[in-house]
Amino acid sequence: MTQRDLALQMHRPAKTISEIVTGKKAITAETALGLERALGVEAQFWMNLQSSYELACARLNQQRSA
């Protein structure tokens, strides 16, 4: 499935999906529910991925500041 296909299935702009994939935009609860409907993977999984990504970014920023 392409990003465009996913965007169409979720009724979201392709740009939004692209920004999520590239880490420029966060997965919101609403987006997680849309991904659940489109892909059949529970929304909690997507929220956990977002949380893990944010934590990894915070750790990296701390390491760079030290």
Residues 6-44: pLDDT tens digits? 999 999 999 999 999 999 999 999 999 999 999 999 999
The angle that helices 3-10 and 29-39 make with each other, rounded to 10 degrees, is 100
Q: What is the mean pLDDT of residues 57-65?
A: 95
Q: Which of 15, 10, 12, 35 is nearest to 25 (CA)?
A: 15
All domains in the chain, ordered by first residue: 3-65 (1.10.260.40)
Local confidence band at 4 (pLDDT 50, 70, 90 cut-offs):
very high
Full-model pTM:
0.87
